[in-house]
Amino acid sequence: MEKSEDLQSLLQRFEQLNEVGAALSRERDLGQLLERILETAQTLTRADGGTLYRVTDDGRALSFALLRTRSLGIRGGGQGEEPLDFPDLPLHLPDGAPNDSLIAVHAAVHETTVVVADAYDNAAFDFAGTRAFDQRTGYHSQSFLTVPMKNHYGELIGVLQLINALDARTGRVRAFSRSAQRIAESLASQAAIALTNRQLIDQLEHLFESFVNLINQAIDEKSPYTGAHCQRVPVLAMMLAEAAHATTQGPLARFSMNDRDRYELKMAGMLHDCGKITTPVHVVDKATKLQTIYDRIGVIDARFEVLERDAEIEMLRGQLALRPVTDAAAEARLAEGLKSARQGLRQERDFLRRCNLGGEAMQAGEQERVRTIGTTRQWRNPEGVRTNLLTSDEMENLTIGVGTLTQAERDVINHHIVSTIRMLESLPWPRHLRNVPEYAGGHHERMDGKGYPRGLTREEMSWQARMLGIVDIFEALTAADRPYKHGMKLSQALAIMRTMAADGHIDPDLFEVFEREQVGVRYARQFLDPQQIDL
């Protein structure tokens, strides 16, 4: 150790180095990790300036990631800072030889630490860029410590360069000491490992999110309606979660989230309807009551045409029966009878068409009229057999009380949450995502225990699961891309949800935050048609 190096100071810096190593391993944000690496290196080596380079994706050059010069207050490349607009430094010349004239490249290519006491008195490297920087800023770049960053696989991932070591007592620029070199090399090694681990985690998370998006895309391929739902619910969920996180009063005052909690909820939102991949598309997209692979109202229209044809044939036969004696009055009565029959048939046909649309609640009298038409009207089928105008299945569908789904079809739709839970619970979730199945699987439960599939009560559910229940309903009410309804206006959707909160369907405390913080309004401005925004 050099005589000028204070032992206690050195030990203190090594202790700081150990603490920094642990801190680096905990840092989740890649940008913040890079900044922490450079700024820590500057502090531990008492360097005034520093640059962090990263190896480009193709492995052929070094790119400027961060730049810091404390005495000049220069900061670039970090979060919220101006990006660095410097050209990459190629690792090799056009003939394949190492680009040894550049100090950072030399350290990278030869994987060795380079120490320069005075850049203006050094002929081994090209410091033209450094001198140009000094000329522009009035700075004087003197001492350099350039350290390659290799991870635990022995791969070069970047270069740490420190500039102008400052004497602890005088504050003057001096050469980097041997102890500073050891500290920088140790930090570079730890930082490279932390950086590699963070990149691997980011890559795995990106892969996972891409896989989740692939599932939603598969659902979207089946139905363009639910695919958009799967994209919007996570956004709305995070808006409500952030509003709850910011709450300082009431039951949610103690609710808080860290970055891992946010990511967990985001994933649950993205996966909350993944079970719909098992739901038959003709049920998901059932726009009318008689729709299956096609809308069967056309079949019923054809039967009415047959009835009109039969009525006309019957009238013509009656007229022929009057021949050869002409009875104008009798023929007129037959024609008038045909006109009346046609009018009645067309009224009934139009009534069934309206019933087929679904939407508003169907009255009991209307349901009874459907059954009367279906059983009292007879038609001759292609086999020549007289039979009821409507089959029992058609009457069941046309008398659906609300919407377009029969109870059996609703059960099929509702089964998607069972499939969602089964799919998610079968995955080996890491600790920070272990609550995804519970969050995603609870969005159809009710606070009063009358939901499905498990009949959970409010106390048995997490805040996050209750959040997904609220945003799932709000998105469905306001969505304008459903095949069976128009998107509600904001005021109407919120009024319905107030009733749901009062009736024990959704969490009243969360919905109070939803309204107070205008989560729905902010979401509407981003995703809804302006005509829906009436608040």
3 state SS of 53: strand
Beta bridge partners, 150, equal 156
> For residue 4, what pLDDT is reported?
47
Cα distances (angstroms) measured from residue 422 to each of 269, 372, 415, 453: 16, 44, 11, 12
Q: What is the overall mean pLDDT for the chain?
A: 87
- pTM assigned to the model: 0.64
The domain locations on the chain are: 7-201, 223-284+409-532, 297-403
Quick check: 314 pLDDT over 70? yes
What is the Cβ-side half-sphere exposure of residue 32, based on CA atoms within 13 angstroms?
7
3 state SS of 165: strand
Query: What does the pLDDT look like over 272-295, one tens digit per residue?
Result: 988 888 777 777 667 788 887 778
Q: Regarding predicted confidence, which is higher, 74 or 222? A: 74
- What CATH architecture is 223-284+409-532? Orthogonal Bundle (1.10)
As a three-state string, the secondary structure of 167-234 is: CCCCCCEECCCHHHHHHHHHHHHHHHHHHHHHHHHHHHHHHHHHHHHHHHHHHHHHCHHHHHHHHHHH
Q: Does domain 7-201 have CATH number 3.30.450.40?
A: yes
> For residue 1, what pLDDT is reported?
44
At 490, list the tokens.
Answer: 């904001």
Which residue in 257, 260, 259, 229 sits closest to 416, CA to CA? Answer: 229
Percent of the chain exceeding pLDDT 70 equals 91
> For residue 20, what pLDDT is reported?
64
Mean pLDDT calculated for residue range 76-94: 89
Query: What does the pLDDT look like over 433-467, one tens digit per residue?
Result: 999 999 999 999 999 999 989 999 999 999 999 99
